[in-house]
Amino acid sequence: MTRTGDVLAIDFDGVVADALQECALVTWLGARGPGPDTSVPGAEQLRGVPGEFVERFRRIRDYSRLLDHFVVAHLPEAATVDSQAGFDALFRGLEPEYVRAFAEGATAAREWLRTSEPDFWLDLHTLYPGMEDLLRRYSGRTVVVTAKDEGSVRAILARHGLEHTVREVFGECGRKAEAVLDVSARWGVPVENITFIDDNLTNVRGVAETGARARWALWGYATPEHRAEAERFAVPALDLTDVPRLAPAAVQEPIP
């Protein structure tokens, strides 16, 4: 059955929630070994992250799409990255085994913080203005499509009383266009009725090719290079001030 009404497909970090400190911390811990030092409180470990590392992470975060990509922040050359091509070249130069070990270590650190120090970990995530209202407007018709793991996304949503608004989470997702098409097929919603929001321009351009209404979130992680590319290809942009006007069409058939 084809159902009417709009569906919201939305990225998480950099769109729904600001988690730069949390991501920088787990990235720092991810290269320290197979597992975090659980004898040191998370707040103390955060204070121990060197400032120059945080600045490198802030720079490369704009070019990253997956947790694996965060490993580039550990390279001194990351301090001068100024293009997607330059970032991609640094990432390609890393040994796959090193990247795999880093991703496992970062995931273990995040899981330790999330389960052992939940209040501290959750406080590292703040919602961008207007996001709570947006999720409530699309309640039950929202899917989160993100590089973040599903457990973390659901825990953060629950912290803000929004767990019921999101119907499905595509966690650790690197193929967002495929996820949008999958939602369209399984939910019985025409792809043109799906509004997709992401702060990564590559993802936005890829999803736009599916026929979905893809919008580039300007409040997330973006670079001057991306802004020039968006202008060149006429990619529809979205500012936080535009979010209150995103209202779903009337729903005539509920999604079971």
Domain count along the chain: 2
Model confidence pTM above 0.85: no
Task: Look at residues 194, 198, 151, 150 and name the one whose alpha carbon lies nearest to residue 170.
Answer: 150
Residue 251 placed within a domain: no
Q: Answer with the one of 68, 96, 123 that is the final residue of a domain.
A: 123
Q: Does residue 149 lie within any of the structural domains? A: yes
142 and 83 in a common domain:
no
The CA distances from residue 138 to 142, 173, 246, in Å, are: 6, 21, 9
Last residue of a domain, one of 123, 151, 181: 123
pLDDT lower than 50: segments of the chain: 1-2, 252
Please count the CA atoms within 13 angstroms of the CA of 248 that sit on its side-chain side: 23
pLDDT of residue 250: 59
In a domain, 215, yes or no: yes
Q: Tokens standing for 89?
A: 């070249």
111 within some domain: yes
Q: Which domain holds residue 29?
A: 20-123
Q: Which of 123, 156, 184 is the last residue of a domain?
A: 123
Note the pLDDT tens digit of each residue in 206-236.
Answer: 999 999 999 999 998 888 888 889 999 999 9
Q: Is 145 in the same domain as 209?
A: yes
In a domain, 182, yes or no: yes
pLDDT of residue 221: 84
Domain shared by 108 and 62, yes or no: yes
pLDDT the model gives residue 3: 56
Q: Is residue 110 domain-resident?
A: yes
CATH of the domain at 146: 3.40.50.1000
